[in-house]
Every structure is written in structure tokens, then in C-alpha cells.
Chain A
Amino acid sequence: MGRYVFKRILLALVSIFIICLITFFAMNAIPGGPFNSEKALSAATKAALEARYNLDKPVHIQFILYMRNLLHGDFGVSLKTGREISTTLSSCFKVSARLGLTAAVFAIIFGIILGALAALFRNRWPDRIIVFFTTLFTAMPSFVFATLLLLVFCIELKVLPVFDASSRSYILPVIALMAYPMAYVTRLTKTSMLDALNQDYVRTARAKGVPMVSVIFKHALRNALIPVITYVGPMLAYILTGSLVVENIFTIGGLGQQFVKAISNRDYPLIMATTIFLAVVMVICNLLSDIAYKIVDPRITLD
């Protein structure tokens, strides 16, 4: 296990390096630069600025310089605000992660429960209701759903604040964010639960007198969760690193919003830092899901 994790981390470092490489050259290939704006700067000022941030050097030299700083833990400063990127990143991530983690936990818990219920009540009314809503939530784009929530609960019913600093204002964004993953987890759980309930080992468990509750939760559900885990890993990474749409609609200053702003501003160090951060979170989530996989299913060998 220890060796496996070590190997995975090494591999992850390689892929993060490749991601850096591609992103760095791709963003430099986009026309325009950080100092292009409506108000034209004088040629001298621009040259001075570019020299200060090494932007006057050839791209491959810039890359080498950037990577050297990165190895020393230096993400650089934002070209727009001049603030340390690591502080911006950590404060934004706190917001996104708080929102995302809440949404992910609820999505997983409700998804599994609803999926199991749908499987147990297959083709009866609980199943039909669950199927209706999962289809709805999978099909409806999140900007429609988020706007709808705002309209109903904040404007019409006035039961929730549009946005303030209280934790109540997190309710709607969490719901908007969890709708799709919850629907997906529900569908996955239902399918694999139906499959598990028809397995021979479930019949064996019944034949030895195991009570029905235990047959479902001990024998069937654990097997049914194996495919769900594969989905949960990457889902967690996406949801933790913030959603552009939901953060924008609810005006939450999270990582998703920051990322898009960085790209439109050509804020090169911020683009790089956000990309690397997303990559690292993704790698960690994948590694965790593989380890969870091994814990749930002993047939899987990690090496």
C-alpha cells in the first residue's frame, strides 16, 4: 500500500509537470497580454512592466524561470492586483471547498439512499418519483436550476436571503451544486443495486436466515457501491474546486470565478496557479477513490 501510494505520487508529479507545460505554452499562444487594456500604456511603461515580470524573454525561458520559482514554493504575484497568488488562492479555495464539500456530502448520502430505495421499490411509485427527479436534475442545466431557485425562494417566497455572509445563504448554492451529482449517484446506485440484489450471494445470505435489512445493507449495498466510488472521486474534485455557474449566479467569490477572471485578464501566474491547484486536487481525489476502491472490494490489488 505504502509503495503504491509513493508510486502514484511520483506519477502524479509527472502528469502535473506535463499539465504545467501544456498550459504555459497554450496561454502564451493566445493573442493579447496582461497589459493590453482600453487605456493604452506608453511603450516605455509597457516594456518596463514586461521586463519586470520576465515577459520580454522567450517563452521557453519564461517557463524555466516559472518552474524554478514554483519549486521554491513561489506562485508569484497577480499581474492585475499585485497580491500574492497563494493568499488569493487559499482564501478562494476555502469558500469553494466549504460549499463544494457540503454539496458533495449531501449528494453522496442522498444519492445512495435514493438509489437503494429506487432499486428496492423497482417499478412502484417511490421508484417512479425518484426516476422522474433524477432525470430532471440530470437534464436541467445548472444555470436554469440556480436561477429558478433564486426566483422561487428569494424573490417570490422570500424565505432565504439572496446573498449575505450568513450560513443560510449557502443553502441555495449547495442545492444548486448538488442536484446533478446527486441525480447521477442515484442512478448509478440504483443500477448496481439491482444488479447486486440478483446475485447468487444475496440468495445465499437469504438462505442462511440473514434478516432482510442486513441482506440489503450488508450484502447487497457494499457490492453496489463499487461503481459509485469510481464516479465519486473525480466528482469530488470538480465540485471542490468550484463551479463557475453557481458561484457567478450566487455571487460567491470562489475558485471557479477566480479561474475565469484570470483567463480573461491574461493574468498568467494566476492561470498557472489555479490550473496546478485543480490538477493537484484532481490527483488527490483520484488517489483517494482508488484507495477507497481497495477498501470496499478486496479483489482489487493495488500495484
Chain B
Amino acid sequence: MENTNGKKPPLLEVRNLHTAFKTDKGEVRAVNGVSYVLEEGHSLGIVGESGSGKSVSAYSIMQILDSNGHITEGQILFKGEDITHYSQKQMQEFRGKHCAMIFQDPMTSLNPVYTVGNQITEAIRIHSDKSKEEAKANAIKMLEMVGINDAERRMKQYPHELSGGMRQRVMIAMALVMEPSILIADEPTTALDVTIQAQILELMLDLQKKLNMAIIIVTHDLGVIAQMSDEIVVMYGGRICERGTAEDIFYNPCHEYTKGLLRSIPSTSNMKKKLVPIAGTPINLLNMPKGCAFCSRCDSAMKICLTQVPDELRIDKTHLASCWMNVKNGTYMKEEA
């Protein structure tokens, strides 16, 4: 209904999202105008360092921010409908049924005093009128789907009786029992060891195909994001500084921050080169600069960077960046085409 040419609206569209937290020291503006589109079955990777607003932007979609946080501006359109004005009850329906979420630490994300089965069937029983037995059968099927063997026994176990990788599988099973169209994964592999990380990512990709769901994966791990995402969004200081396909971002970074990020990760092709960290510290979200957020840490900062936030400019068909260097060097497409 939002589209004029009668095309189906995208599955999820975030428009100019602003999220802030009220604290004793003032308003912390964690997300400052983030927009992106997520199509059905696609995956979007949001990458950035701690405090870049990547997790907060994801929590904003689910409206599970801490009690002092709220969306101050912008829209979140799910199938063309703005969900930021949803009532509590509508939001409860949205969470879990249409959009599910998994979290960073599977050790603490499951309730320690309830069995795995109890927690999974709870999700089913909230969103459907299935009987206890049906819900149980459904949960067992889902556990098998995420690669947990002996599912019937696992249902009766408590989270502390399972390993970390197993718990993350349970989290995934719990998130996907209602076959939501969107899965938001907030650092799903950060707390796991490397071999388990690979298994979990593979599982997510596999389930994405099977269930045809869209994934938003939030991480600081560039390796994970390269593997997982159709589109990558790089965030800094609550804004998007660059977006594009994995190829765009990794082989033709057009924002000084992205370039810095790539310089700071080791790769097999240049083992002998010294890694270059990004100098300085992340910006203070209480006191946002007037111009580009990355300005104070940027080696190529110019006068204009201090005073004006750069617009998002198209580098090519899939690739956009907000950096004044592109204007200076003329490395962008004029927007008439």
C-alpha cells in the first residue's frame, strides 16, 4: 500500500530510525537516522564496533529496549504497516510470530529454572491455540530440525545440562517454532568457540533456505558477515556509513571507517603486514559532533567533515557510502539515472 506502482511492499523497511535512552547524564542518542530495506528471504548484515548502535537498532524493531529507551523518530514498516505505533498487545503478537530474535550469550539467554521443552512450548502456546501435546510434538520436530539428537530427552532437560552450542541451537529452535518471516540474530556466535560458530552459521543459512525467512545479523565479526549477508550495512555512531554487497564492502570500501576496519583485521593474503588499529576511541553518544561522527578519528578528515554530515552517495548500483572523500575525489554516481 505504500508503493505507488502497486508493487508489494518490502518485508521490512526501516525509515530514518532514531532511538535514544534517557539517562541521568542526558539523552544518549544511540541510533540517529538509520534506514534499510529487508526483502523476503534475504539477509542483511549490520556490522560495527561496540556502541555503534547496531544492537539497539535491532532491539528497536522488536521494541524490547530497556525501559529508559524509546524510538524518537522514524518508521518501521512491516509489510507496509508501521509497527512503531503498535499497541503492547499487537507488539506481543509481532514478536515471536512474525519476527524472532536470538541473542549473544546462550548461557544466560535461557531461563535456568524451566526445562527446554517448557520454554519452547511456551512460545508455541502463546501464538497458537495448539494443545499441550501438539505443541510438544511441534517443539520436538523443531529441535530435530536444528540438529539436536534425542530431542525427546532434551525437552525434559534444563539449560544448565546442555553445552553452549546446544543451547544456541535451542535458542534458534525456540525462535523459529512459529516460522517467523524475520529472524534477528544479535551476535549469535560471539560467545561460542570457533568450530561451534561455523556450525551455528551453517545451521542458520540452512534454515533460512528451508523456511524462506529473512535474517538480520548483527555482529562485529566481519568474517561472519561476509559469509552470511546479501547486503552489509556498516554502522558508526548510530548512523550508517556504508552499505553494499560483501564484494562492495570488502573489495571497494568507500568510507574511511570501513577502510580502517578492514585494515585492522588479519587476512591470509597479507600475513606479514602489521595490523593497523583505528586510532582514538568510539564517540560519546551523549555529545554527538555536528559533522561526520567518525571525523575525530579519521586520517583524511577535511574542514567540511567537522561541520556537515555527509549525504549517502551512490557509488554504484548496490553500493552507497556517506563520506566527503567521495565528493572530493568524484568517486560517485550522479543521481539522475
Contacts and interface: CB of A to CB of B under 8 A. Distances in A.
Interface stretch (A1-9, A129-137, A162-170, A205-213): A205-213
A299 interface: yes
A208 B93 CA distance: 9
Contact of B64 (A199, A206, A211, A297): A206
Interface stretch (B107-115, B218-226, B248-256): B107-115
Interface string A259-303: 000000000000000000000000000000000000011110000
B122 interface: yes
A219 B93 CA distance: 19
Nearest to A210: B126
A209 B96 contact: yes
Q: Mostly helix, strand, loop or mixed at chain A's interface?
A: helix
Contacts of A205: 111
B182 to A, nearest CB: 12
Most A CB within 10 A of own CB, among B88, B94, B112: B112
A211 B64 CA distance: 12
Interface string B64-93: 100000000000000000000000100011
B116 to A, nearest CB: 11
A299 B157 CA distance: 11
Interface stretch (B97-105, B196-204, B322-330): B97-105
Contacts of B62: 206-207
B125 to A, nearest CB: 10
A222 interface: yes
A299 B95 contact: no
Contacts of B109: 200-201, 203-204
A299 B88 contact: no
Contact of A199 (B100, B108, B123, B127): B108
A204 B120 CA distance: 11
A298 B112 contact: yes
B203 to A, nearest CB: 18
Given A209-B92, A209-B123, A200 B105 contact: yes
- Provide the main secondary structure of the chain B interface: helix
B79 to A, nearest CB: 17
B293 interface: no
Contact of A203 (B94, B103, B112, B175): B103
Interface residues of B, number: 29
Contacts of B332: none
Interface string A192-204: 0000000111011
A226 to B, nearest CB: 8
A207 B122 CA distance: 12
B297 interface: no
Contact of B111 (A209, A211, A223): A223
Contact of A208 (B95, B112, B160): B95
A222 B113 CA distance: 8
A211 to B, nearest CB: 6
Interface in B107-162: 108-113, 115, 122-123, 126-127, 158, 160
Contacts of A296: 113
A212 B91 CA distance: 11
A207 B96 contact: yes
A298 B113 contact: yes
B160 A299 contact: yes
A212 to B, nearest CB: 7
B171 interface: yes
A201 B111 CA distance: 5
Interface in B252-290: none
19 contacts: A201-B109, A201-B111, A204-B103, A204-B171, A207-B62, A207-B95, A208-B95, A208-B100, A209-B92, A209-B95, A210-B92, A210-B122, A210-B123, A210-B126, A296-B113, A297-B113, A298-B158, A299-B112, A299-B158
Interface of A: 199-201, 203-212, 219, 222-223, 296-299
Given A209-B93, A209-B97, A209-B127, 7 more contacts: A200-B109, A201-B111, A204-B111, A208-B96, A208-B100, A208-B175, A297-B113
**Can you list the 9 inter-chain pairs with the closest CB atoms, starting with the nearest?**
A209-B96, A209-B95, A208-B96, A201-B111, A200-B108, A207-B101, A200-B109, A208-B123, A298-B158
